[in-house]
């Protein structure tokens, strides 16, 4: 089996694991912030060009202590260290296709954006199928799902998501970010905040 074919087979199983999950469980109203967006798949995972709606629920933001622990794990042991830290961390939200269970968010951080807006980064350790874990194709080197949102003052904007990615440190903001933001594997268009104030959100 070629590397390309094993990568494709693993990708199919990854997409299937998300697609056949049950519905997202909502957190208490007012104690979360919910976002919706139209996702356009520009990657080579799944159907390129496919369009669907994505829901993001942030129940709370990562504490400074949690953020420092994740940053230390990544700095000292790389993505393997960060994966281990994520697997031990509690869920602080959900991200996934509308109507599906989605992935547990392990990290959520908000930073000031351009023109008074804000940027939000959320990250999770993604699910690996039995076949992926057993065969260990190239996809196992990309163990995270990361979403980055860029919002204006009205809570509207755009973003980017990657189902298979690695993570690096944004030293300017002391935060975790996609390894390469410019690659644009999945575009998130028409992002909207539906309101709510999660615990730990920075005050304007």
Of 13-27, 54-68, 110-124, 158-172, give the lowest mean pLDDT range.
13-27
Mean pLDDT along residues 74-84:
87
- Antiparallel, parallel or unpaired: β 103-104 and 144-151: unpaired
Q: Reply yes or no on whether the pLDDT at 120 is more than 60.
A: yes
Q: Which neighbouring-strand residues pair with 93?
A: 58
Q: In what order do the strands lie in the sheet with 93-97?
A: 103-104, 93-97, 51-58, 33-41, 186-193, 156-165, 144-151, 118-125, 107-112
Instruction: Please report, for the chain, the start and end positions of each structural domain, with discontinuous segments joined by +.
Output: 3-193
Number of separate helices (H) and strands (E) present in the chain? 3, 11
Nearest to 54 by CA among 38, 74, 33, 77: 38
Mean pLDDT along residues 31-45:
79
List the structure tokens of 166.
């690695």
Nearest to 49 by CA among 187, 197, 148, 179: 187
Is the pLDDT higher at 170 or at 61? 61
Q: Report the percent of the chain where pLDDT is more than 90.
A: 31
């Amino acid at each position: 089996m070629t590397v390309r074919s094993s990568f494709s087979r693993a990708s199919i199983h990854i997409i299937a694991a998300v697609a056949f999950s049950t519905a997202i469980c909502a957190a208490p109203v007012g104690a979360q912030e919910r976002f919706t967006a139209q996702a356009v798949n520009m990657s080579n995972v799944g159907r390129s060009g496919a369009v669907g709606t994505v829901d993001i629920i942030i129940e709370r933001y990562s504490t400074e202590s949690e953020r420092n622990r994740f940053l230390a794990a990544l700095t000292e042991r790389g993505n393997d260290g960060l994966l281990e830290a994520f697997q031990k961390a509690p869920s602080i939200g959900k991200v996934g296709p509308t109507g599906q269970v989605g992935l547990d968010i392990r990290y959520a951080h908000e930073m000031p954006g351009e023109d008074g807006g804000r940027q939000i980064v959320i990250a999770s350790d993604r699910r690996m199928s039995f076949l992926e874990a057993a065969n260990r194709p190239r996809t196992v080197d990309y163990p995270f799902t990361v979403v980055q949102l860029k919002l204006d003052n009205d809570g509207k904007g755009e973003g980017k998501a990657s189902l298979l990615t690695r993570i690096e440190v944004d030293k300017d903001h002391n935060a975790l970010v996609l390894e390469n933001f410019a690659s644009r594997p999945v575009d998130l268009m028409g992002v909207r905040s539906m309101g709510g104030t999660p615990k730990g959100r920075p005050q304007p």
